[in-house]
Amino acid sequence: MVKTKLTANDLFDIHSVTAPVISPDGQRVAYITTTIDEKKNTYFSKLWVTQSNGAQKSVAWTTGEERISNVTWSPSGNHLSFLSTRNEKNQLFVLSAHGGEAQKITSLPFGVQSYEWDPSETKLWFTATYHEEHGWEDEKKDDKKDDFPKPYIAGKMKYIQDGNGLVKQDRFNQIGTVNIDTKEVSKWSDTSFSQHLHTISPDGKKFVVSEHPKEDDDVFENTLYLVDVDSKERQELTQENGSYYGARFSPDGNYIGFIGSHRTYENATHADLYVYAMEQQAVQNLTESVDAPVGDYVVADIQQGASAPSLVWTEENHVYFQVSTHGDVRIYMTTLEGEMYPVTQEGEHVYGYDVSKDGKHLVLTVSSPVSPGEVYTQTVATGERTPLSAHNAEFLSTKNIYTPEPIIFEGPNGWEVHGWIIRPEEAKNKKVPLVTNIHGGPHAFYANTFFHEMQLLANKGYGVLYINPRGSHSYSQEFVDAVRGDYGGNDYLDIMAAVDYALETYDWIDKERLGVTGGSYGGFMTNWIVGHTDRFKAAVTQRSISNWISFYGVSDIGFYFTEWQIQGDMNDVEKLWDHSPLKYASQVNTPLLILHGENDLRCPIEQAQQLYITLKRMGKETEFVRFPQADHNLSRTGLPNLRIERLHQITGWFEQYL
């Protein structure tokens, strides 16, 4: 079959295959696929079930127009449960593992955030938003005056949130139960602050919960508590200040594993795997010797609703977990004695997984630079894999997909920097332009995963360079922390060193036709680059930061993120201005396209407005494109038609100027 060039519209043909869970008997695997409905301009999911040995094709167990998440087998394996948006809000549904229709179990006004099966299987425990006056009942409207606009009083600094708008200050999370047969809902929490349920002991007598005070402007930590379900007596599990999540009981109930970080380096701090021993009442950090973060911090644009457990226990009290390491996400296993090793291979992104009770088999969702992702089962002892799905087989068989070449080069201080370069087929006969693409975060990373945007640029005839400069995750703690207080310093030099390396190594690059783009932190860096060098002939900045002084007060994370990352505040305005790309606008000579979502509260659109008006007034070559109904996640989860238009804007600008 002749393969055709990949296009922006191929987003509609890619299946996001996510969230695999293995049944308690190890015989079946459930997972989710998400695709884009072009006509309805939205995303829909399906729940699939297949045999874990690959002997049977996957069967869709749902077919509705909905988004599905949090798929879980009941303890006996007799039921599958999941959250669904088929009634707008995320509600809890239970489906017999023997067939039939899914039964809606909750009808809460704000939906369900997460849930756990009670060992008895007569009820489910959940965490949901609770109204301090109306509780879990619909708010009553007494007269038409309730339809009139009302002022919003911001009582704290954390009063806005990207993707959600104004924070409802009369709401907080509470824990409750719902009876499967009667659907009767009962409230367990009796607090006036947020609680979140993490895990239930095998005998159903103990919980692990986290708590968050309502007035939390300067609180970025949380505490995990072990709580008696009946008496509500509790003891603290986390014996060091930090941020902790994802607690899970071991099958024998003697241990609790959880993930967390002490925040010595604020949000750049590596996460670790901790285990609390019930008998000794002591916590042990099992990954203290691993100089890489536990978890998945990959930047990508395909995996819709991807989720993975924080950790998984086996019957032998072995623990499996994800580690972001040198551009990969791999599954590691550790014993309680600290014997640890990776159980998945290099060169890939394992973005979902589960483990059989006996620890003999993994079920994985895996992406690589040339595959959006499928479900596999893997034998732990041998590493042998069996594919369980082929949802993207047709797409891959008909489209031209490039294999990125890994590169390693030397940045400032002699540090090794890792990245990838893609050579388009046009480079066989002539020199081609090179586009450098910079990720956001900055504490995220590019990985050995499928990236539609990179493939699109290569299929348009551009060389594509993307790297993990200092500040990126999956490397050492020193490396990820190095960007803080140095925005526009050695991180900028890492990117310039990458371009130098590419030009010295690959003779197919036209050094006179260099482009640069990036979003969020990558947008900041794009702005910084065009204000400090003229070597790029075209640039596209997306959802960017241009002015740290105004960012401090308008972003939903501005006041603390600025202090953590720039290491300055409004008492040191000169420092904020020195790190602001807007200061260097007069030095910009590169044609700059500015893309920004109108509902972005993480990097508010005023950042783009300031930059555009300043450059325009100075007579610079620039254009400004505003995306309605788009928040900070436009490129990943935004309205599909706007995602397509964004890609057209990027490639169109480079076509015009490169």
Q: In what order do the strands lie in the sheet with 243-249?
A: 243-249, 255-261, 272-277, 282-285
How are beta strands 234-236 and 165-166 bridged, if at all?
unpaired
Q: In the predicted model, what is the mean pLDDT of the chain?
A: 95
163-185 as b/e: b if 16+ CB within 10 A: eeeeeebebbbbbbbbebeeeeb
Q: How confident is the model at residue 607, as a pLDDT?
A: 98
pLDDT digits (tens, 9 = 90+) for 112-159: 999 999 999 999 999 999 998 888 876 655 445 567 889 999 989 999
**Beta strands 399-400 and 4-5: pairing type?**
parallel
pLDDT recorded at residue 133:
85
CA pair distance 23, 418, nearest whole angstrom: 39
Measure the CA–CA gap between 652 and 290, rounded to whole angstroms.
44
Strand ranges across the sheet with 103-104: 68-73, 79-87, 89-96, 103-104
**Residue range 557-571: average pLDDT?**
97
Average pLDDT value for residue range 608-625: 98
> 584: which DSSP letter?
G
Closest to 320 measured CA to CA, from 279, 297, 287: 287
Q: Count Cβ atoms below 10 Å from residue 138 Cβ, excluding itself.
A: 10
Cis peptide before 442 (omega within 30 of 0): yes
632 carries an active-site annotation: yes
What is the token pair recorded at 178? 């719902």
Q: Determine the pLDDT at residue 211.
A: 85
Arithmetic mean of pLDDT, 163-172: 90
The encoded tokens of residue 80 equal 């599958």
Question: Comparing 33-37, 219-223, 543-547, which segment has the lowest mean pLDDT?
Answer: 219-223
Instruction: Give the mean pLDDT of 349-366.
Output: 97
pTM exceeds cut of 0.85: yes
Tens of pLDDT, residues 226-272: 999 999 999 999 878 889 999 999 999 999 999 999 889 999 999 99
Which tokens in the block code for residue 17?
Answer: 């295959």
520 included as an active-site residue? yes
Which pLDDT score, from 0 to 100, does residue 163 have?
93
Considering the candidates 52, 310, 389, 520, report the single residue annotated as catalytic.
520
For residue 134, how many other CB atoms are within 10 A of its CB? 13
50 forms beta bridges with: 29
Region 210-239: what's the mean pLDDT?
Answer: 86
Strand intervals (E) in 344-481? 349-355, 361-368, 371-379, 385-387, 399-400, 405-410, 416-422, 432-438, 463-468
Both tokens of 99, joined, read 């067939």
Rounded to 10 degrees, the C-alpha dihedral 610/616/621/625 comes to 50
Q: For residue 214, what pLDDT band results from cuts at 50, 70 and 90? A: low
Q: Which domains, ranges and CATH numbers included, belong to the chain?
A: 402-657 (3.40.50.1820)
Mean per-residue pLDDT for 175-185? 96
- Given 79, 270, 452, 632, the catalytic residue: 632
Which residue shows structure tokens 């370069």?
421
* Measured distance between the N- and C-terminal CA atoms of the chain, rounded to whole angstroms: 32
Q: Tell me the pLDDT tens digit for each residue of 495-521.
A: 999 999 999 999 999 999 999 999 999
